[in-house]
Amino acid sequence: MDLIKALLGLAVLSSPLWLILILLPVSLWIAVKVAKRFKSAAVRLTGGVIIFLALFFLPFADELAGRIYFNYLCSTEAGIKVYRTVELPAEYWDEQGRAIFRVYEGDGHKAMFLMGGSKFEDARFEYSMFVEPYSSLFHIDRTGFRLRNRETGKTLGEVLYFRYWHGWIARNLSLNRSATSCEVKDLNDWPLNIFRSSKAKK
């Protein structure tokens, strides 16, 4: 029963109300008609429920499968990734070794450092946002922010998350055509995982 409630809730969230109001009685009517052909009461009840669920949730099948896959990607692949670290001199850190700067995207994807009241671009590093198609079947994008060393061309680190554009009903029949994204914590501070103090123990 809890599963049916959860599925109904998902159908409501991913579909326009008018479609549900049409599908619900039609699926129920067909299920009752077919179930009446069975002789046993237990078989009629079981068969009717199965037929109803199959008819009603078939249009939402891609939504269910896509959301399961999206949740799997968020729990296993999304998050902050650090591939290489870079040393920064003492003026970038306080006495306790904590960062006193912020990094964000500047002109031409150059890394923009904000420290105190001053900000400056560092041409050695490239900070950029990316959006890449990941699954055309489930309409999922791989997206996030990337920090790269311009001199070597190597990626230092990235924050990675996924965007799910829902099933065909939500994409084509719903007025709300927005994507659902993974929740990534510390989104603004992720570059601080890449940079470390030159005084840090090696």
Q: What is the pLDDT of residues 114-124, one digit of tens each?
A: 988 889 999 89
What pLDDT shows up at residue 9?
Answer: 54
Is residue 72 assigned to a domain? Answer: no
**Same structural domain, 11 and 56:** yes
**Same structural domain, 31 and 85:** no
Q: How far is CA 162 from the centre of its chain?
A: 3
**Same structural domain, 108 and 148:** yes
- pLDDT exceeds cutoff 70 at 28: yes
Q: Residues 139, 162: contact at Cβ < 8 Å? A: no
**Same structural domain, 55 and 110:** no
Which of 32, 66, 100 corresponds to the end of one domain?
A: 66
**Same structural domain, 109 and 169:** yes
**Same structural domain, 51 and 134:** no
Percent pLDDT > 90 in the chain is: 38
Is residue 118 assigned to a domain? Answer: yes
**Same structural domain, 117 and 97:** yes
- Per-residue confidence band for 18, with pLDDT thresholds at 50, 70 and 90: very low
- Per-residue confidence band for 8, with pLDDT thresholds at 50, 70 and 90: low
**Same structural domain, 106 and 133:** yes
Taking only the tens place, the pLDDT of each residue in 128-157 is 999 999 999 999 999 999 999 998 999 999
Measured distance CA(176)–CA(165) in Å, rounded: 11
Taking only the tens place, the pLDDT of each residue in 58-81 is 777 788 888 899 999 999 999 999
Which of 19, 34, 66 corresponds to the end of one domain?
A: 66
- pLDDT exceeds cutoff 70 at 2: no
What's the structural domain count of the chain? Answer: 2
**Same structural domain, 192 and 108:** yes
- pLDDT exceeds cutoff 70 at 55: no
**Same structural domain, 32 and 114:** no
**Same structural domain, 50 and 83:** no
Measured distance CA(41)–CA(122) in Å, rounded: 76
- Domain enclosing residue 190, as ranges: 77-197
Nearest CA-CA partner of 80 in 1, 155, 159: 159
pTM as predicted: 0.69
Is residue 53 assigned to a domain? Answer: yes
Which of 17, 44, 66 corresponds to the end of one domain?
A: 66
**Same structural domain, 99 and 172:** yes
Is residue 202 assigned to a domain? Answer: no
Taking only the tens place, the pLDDT of each residue in 77-109 is 999 999 999 999 888 998 888 889 999 898 889
- pLDDT exceeds cutoff 60 at 23: yes
What pLDDT shows up at residue 194?
Answer: 93
Q: Give mean pLDDT, residues 43-47.
A: 75
